[in-house]
Amino acid sequence: MVRDALQLRLDSEPDLSVIASVATPQQAIRAFCEDPHALVLMEQQVPGANGVELMVELRAIEPAVRAVMLIESEELHVVVAAIRSGVAGIVRSHTPASVLIDAVRTVADGACVLDHDALSSLAAAWQESPRNPLSFREREVLTCLADGLTNAEVAARLYVSRETVKTHVAHVLRKLEVDDRTSAVDKAARLGLLV
């Protein structure tokens, strides 16, 4: 019923037309193969699969596919999975039809759309992610430490003195709040701070 109502609403727009309305991923793939340049409007959950899996299959057919996904949840992993799959628009399922139609037009014009809930979910994750307290040079030194280099080898690789390396290592240990080089490398790897 929802799909039929949405099709009627989209078809009532003078600049939009529904090429196919399908119920299964297999039907969607067949319809997309007939017109691989059409914009795809899909749900997060589809019978027998999910929208992310379907999007991956559609991108295998046409890497430049443009799609809007209706999602039920604004949970971070759902939003991130949709974005990683190549979806260009994410809109909540309960979004008013006029907003959805604007999203479809925007994505068809080549831009991306994240509704307020999806954007809030991403913003909250960015706020919670650790800030990298290390300077660029300190990250370079840390990367050398991760490669198992001694201070002399780090100095040779980076064209700096051994004293400069010792200073950078001391800063890295202090900023990461660890006592030794191995702990610094381990903590930096866990936090995604290595270059």
The 10s digit of each residue's pLDDT in 6-61 is 888 888 999 988 998 888 889 999 999 999 889 999 888 777 778 888 999 999 99
pLDDT (0 to 100) of residue 153:
95
Compute CA distances 38 → 21, 87, 95, 105, whole Å.
12, 14, 22, 12
pLDDT (0 to 100) of residue 140:
93
Alpha carbons 75 and 150: distance in angstroms, whole number: 44
Instruction: Answer yes or no: is pLDDT of 113 > 90.
Output: yes
**pTM value > 0.75:** no
Amino acid present at 159:
Y
Instruction: Answer yes or no: is pLDDT of 1 > 60.
Output: no
Alpha carbons 73 and 133: distance in angstroms, whole number: 33
Alpha carbons 9 and 47: distance in angstroms, whole number: 23
Output the average pLDDT for the chain: 88
Alpha carbons 131 and 186: distance in angstroms, whole number: 17
| CA nearest to 10, candidates 53, 70, 59, 60 | 70
Alpha carbons 90 and 50: distance in angstroms, whole number: 14
Domains in the chain with CATH codes: 2-128 (3.40.50.2300), 136-191 (1.10.10.10)
pLDDT (0 to 100) of residue 156:
94
At residue 76 the predicted structure's pLDDT band, cuts being 50, 70 and 90, is confident
Instruction: Answer yes or no: is pLDDT of 160 > 70.
Output: yes
Read off φ and ψ for residue 69, nearest 5 degrees.
Answer: -115, 130
